Structure 1
Amino acid sequence: MAQREQVAWCLGVELASNFGKYLGFPSFIGRNKRAVFAYIEDKIRQRIGSWNKKLLSQAGKERIMNKYWWGTGTDRGIHWKAWDKLCIPKKYGGLGFKDLRAFNLAMLGKQAWRFLTEPTTLVARIYKARYYPTTTFVDATIGNNPSHCWRSLMATHDLVCAGVRRRIGNGRDTLIWGHPWLSDDPSPLVQTHMPEELRGALVSGLIDQDTGVLDSLTEGQVRLAVGILYYLWLARNSALWERSLPRPTSTVRRAVMAEEAYTRLGRASYQPHATVLPESDPHERPRCYFDAGYRQHTGEATYGVVLLNHEGVFMAATAGTLPGAFSPIMAEALACKEALSWLKGRDTQMIDLLTDCMELRNMITSRGTRTRSYVGVIVDQCRTTMSLFTSCSLHYISRAVNMHAHTLASLAFDQDHPMYWDVIPPDSITMFVH
């Protein structure tokens, strides 16, 4: 108390008995947060009790419905609907309630991002001096006896820093091991084992000081290194099983000769099989790529669908799980059916379907397919749905051209609900679309 009085005397200000409020919230938060914020709950309860239901807006009526489902006071009632279900957007079958925790984390994440991008601001300098004086926000920890604000900001630390990449510049402030400086996805960190003597090694040691670019091996040097490793492995096997260890110079000579022979012959160029895509017509129809995923040991199946316009620009996508698939071809047929239903829901009238499953393409386009099997029934349903479009065709493409849909189907095994994307593609397929 004496220190507070002394500071107030030096600054020429009065010593306040409380810290007041800012934007309706207490300026100072102690350890007993329940008591500090109890007045908010009382105000909300009084406000809800005074509402006239006839004058409620749509949002107010939804709050009344929420009150009906969850109950009030000590009588909480039965939780007929999980909160995560209520937070699903309305167009996907939910009520569109905001996930308050996610919204709060987003707001806190914006503040954490400012600590990274604007380290010279007053608030960033104060927090740096208090919680991470010798490092950056990326390496900051919650520390001992943190304030409520710092603890809240650190709740978003992993989320914000997971997508952070360091710009190298001269590389003198970036560690080779421990700092996210690689452009690799999903991990920007160097994954190899760190030798103890290189714990503090900087990226500047990898930069050619004359050219200002990262030192890298030429293609020939890479082939030579691979050849040396291969012949070292052969020498190891010879010593272990034949009791004969070749000289090191002989091992290196064999690797050099192999690399020179490969260079003389020239690298074999791989020419992928040409993929026949539908020719563009005057209507410039969009193209729908679809694929299925299937796990034989569990019977799980998924689908991935990507919609591109006639110029190959991303329009929309969806992915999810497929119930009731007993085989890979059945999963492909169900994925086709799911893609057609999704397109009808988007009110698409003209479309070109593309699949990397030749068997499914032949079954749908061949009118002689019997419908006595489960797959045959699904194929017949696909034909019926295709007939409802103004124009709908099915074409075969290679897996290399269908990687975006294949990737979404592979990732859908970890999803609990169908996922939808419009205009902006998911990060997992950005390399495959425009």
Structure 2
Amino acid sequence: MCKLKNEGGFGFRDLESFNMAMLTKQAWRIFTCPNLLLSRIIKAKYFPQGYILSANIGSRPSATWRSIFKVIPYLRAGIRRRIGNGVGTSIWADPWLKDGGSGRVFTTRSVSTAFPNRVADLINPSSKTWDLDIIKEVFWPIDQERILAIPIGNLHAMHRWLEDPLHVITECRGMDRVWRSQPFVELPASSYQSPWDLMEKLKKYLSSSKFQLATIIAWKAWDNRNKEKIGETGIPAGELTSWGQAFLETFKEAQLPPTVKPMIAHPREWTRPPSGVIKINFDAAVPRGELYFSIAAIARDNGGDCVGWKVESFRGSLLPVECEAKAALLAINMAKAKGWESVIIEGDYLQIISALRAQERDASSFGAILEDCLNIAKSFQYCVFNFVKRSGNRLAHHLAKHLAMDCKEGDDLPVFLADII
């Protein structure tokens, strides 16, 4: 009766799995909402000096705690920490690396010293970047690369626990059974390093129509997770395949002949800011195949004259969007250091500008950096974020690409950039 409909069953929920999913949801709520009355009671009795992931069963546990305790391993497998200032994150015990697997370091901890212990110990407080000397001394090469791929902000943002999207799509809430059932039985058994890696392998081993179905199912699995967070009911995992097939057929039937869509007219050229306002353009350069990136910011006044510029380079292999977020932070920090009261922060990466305009707390890998930007923006009398196409951001782009400069900060525009607008 609990078999999937396309396997000849009735598609009823597996009550045991459904119960485990609900218990895991309750454990997640206790974990992420510590001020709830239930959370405070459970913590006071069973883990007063820690948090739920490190709790023990305790003596004479209640039936409620016995049930919740059983699902803690499932909760632990599906979350990781997003790094803010790193103070509350254990290097060795917490999952905080963003690639596949457990999210923990592979390096064996030294028994001769307790340092480093927290992720904050790996961050240089003056430069607010990873301390390369400590990382190279303590960690194996594989972990060095994984750590340098983690973006850090301005050390104002606190850490945050995040649900792993890959775990949600492939394992959680019965999704592991979906990918082992028809029409996906031809998929080879393998572990996936990221949601992108999952999509690449699905595309490699599935036909076009099955790949379309797989992407719909993955999307709906994440939608189910979002609905559960606000108390709504999602589609059971056992019904996802049949729901996805119906959705795909409806989608194909509803397709209309392609029409010309109106284009949003984004500015293509740099324009002067209003009188009394400083415009700061930012950009990032990520050389292909290299383990470093650079960011730049250049400020100009109403007359179009340069009033300050700065270039910084970092070791690491961040995603382009994460590098652009760092560049936006450089620009707004530059404005604050100069004492400007009214500024326009302008860049050519639409995802970053849109997120800053929305002023929402972002749970993405670069969310902590955006939180820093938004916190600093509150200190200005006037601060807006503008998007301009690459052709209007050429000066910041050329600055970011030029890494051979001896001086990487100044008020006057470098001579070799004088002809670039």
TM-score of the aligned structures, taking structure 2 as reference length = 0.35
The higher relative CO (CA closer than 8 Å, separation ≥ 6) is in 2
The structure with the largest alpha-carbon Rg is 1
